[in-house]
Amino acid sequence: MSADLTCPGRAFWRLRTLALGWMLLACGALYAQQRATIAERTKHYSIDVEGEGAEREAQARELGAVMEQAWKGYADVLQCEPPLHQPAQFRIRVRSDRASWLSALAAVGIVPEHGLDYLYFDPQSATVYCYQQPSRWLTRRLALHGGLQQFHCKAKSKHADMVNTWFVLGLAEQLSRHRWDGKTLELAAHPLVTAIDLPWQATRLLEGDLRLETFAEAGLRRPALSWAQVTFLREAKEGRHRARFDKLALGQTGSKLSGPEFASSLGKPAQILGEMQSWLASVQEPLQLVCGEFEDLDGHTLLGRAPAHDYSFALVREACSELRARVAPDPDGAAGLLLDFIDPRHYSFATLSDRGILVQRCDGVQSTTLGEYQAMPSKDGSQRMLARRSEGRVTLFVEERETASFEVAGDRLGLAVEKGAARFFGVSWK
């Protein structure tokens, strides 16, 4: 059974088999010879991205810039750095798909443990192996997650046996949840929307019958809990638990406390769990990704990308009567607001493109054009769009002018990218 997409970043130790191992080694060597790779070298990192063309070249450059900024962030958190014996010493390998990832591991004698997927950190060679995900943010997150494991493992010799500990994996989960606007990296961020929504997942898991004494062990199996536990300890209650956690995670104690041992030092289980649940309610992602790709760039600007032959939708999670944003599609793109949403087959949206404003509705079988309207001239091609709901109708305003009004059946508002990519500025709702 393959692992869930929300479970990247588990470092697992090298396993060897006989027949399967030799078969994978042979296939891995052959596979590696057939794939082109783009290399990016920085002060600390050697990054190889499998593939060719402008998109992969840009991704390799981006990962180089991201990881160099991450290095500074890791050092700030851990208060130490691994020794750099030679330039570009720390290796990150991004394969194109799972088959290539498995072959790359097999080529160096690694057979992954059954059920683990997406990311492998090899402590012996200090190499991170991952493969491309459906969104750029997710692939970047894998590199950052593995990078923290790599950095922590090599920062101090006594860290070598801590790779699989709950606090290191949880710290990797926390720091890899990030924002990146193309220039500035923010680690341990609380984005408006992500592809995996760890806060929502953690909230659902904490509704079950979990005791604090077993929470850390459950977190090892559930990345959402691993993220929640460590982020709570480092952020909640004005950092009341942070000093105790950092002392453990930074290796200053010289020991590896188990989850139950650490949990018992925090206080009464019911009180701590109650505090964690309250804190989780305060850090929920306000937008819910339905399909496609949306990324929070800096806390104010969202970037949406529509996959080929599909749309990208992000819903406001709470009930609201108004949603507004300045929408800036790429020259060949089309994007705007979701005017109502029932399910992925029943919705209406208004999109802006170089052809103007187009309002469409999907009734589960086919899409219908409800109206086409001219857009006001704009220097940068962007328009301020507002959707206002009232008594079963939604009214669309563009540049503060009423453009159209329709009856709707759904009760949700959101953002939509029909084609290409678009940026959304000043997104707000009430």
Q: Classify domain 287-429 at the CATH class level.
A: mainly beta
pLDDT digits (tens, 9 = 90+) for 302-342: 999 999 889 999 999 999 999 999 999 999 999 999 999 99
- What local confidence, expressed as pLDDT, does residue 364 receive? 87
The single-letter code of the amino acid at 32 is A
368-372-375 Cα angle (round to 5):
145
Q: 19-168: what fold?
A: Glutaredoxin (3.40.30)
pTM for this entry: 0.88
- In 3-state terms, what secondary structure has residue 202? helix
DSSP H stretches of helix in 156-222 = 166-176, 198-206, 215-221
pLDDT digits (tens, 9 = 90+) for 6-64: 333 333 333 223 333 444 444 444 444 567 999 999 999 999 999 999 999 999 999 99
Average pLDDT, the chain: 86
Rounded Cα distance, 191 and 300, in Å: 10
Residue percentage of the chain with pLDDT more than 90: 63
pLDDT digits (tens, 9 = 90+) for 127-166: 999 999 999 999 999 999 999 999 999 987 777 767 778 8
Which of 11-20, 94-103, 168-177, 418-427 is least confident?
11-20
Domain boundaries, the chain: 19-168, 198-282, 287-429
Can you tell me the mean pLDDT for 261-273? 73
Exposed e or buried b for every residue in 256-293, given b needs 16+ CB within 10 A? bbebeebbeebeeeeebbebbeebbeebbbebbbbebb
Taking alpha carbons only, the member of 334, 299, 330, 297 closest to residue 415 is 334
- What local confidence, expressed as pLDDT, does residue 207 receive? 81
Which of 5-19, 174-188, 227-241, 406-420 is least confident?
5-19
Rounded Cα distance, 296 and 181, in Å: 8
Backbone angles phi, psi at 121, to 5 degrees: -105, 120
Residue 193 has which token pair? 């929307």
420-423-427 Cα angle (round to 5):
135
- Kindly calculate the radius of gyration of the chain based on its CA atoms and give it in whole angstroms: 23
Rounded Cα distance, 311 and 91, in Å: 35
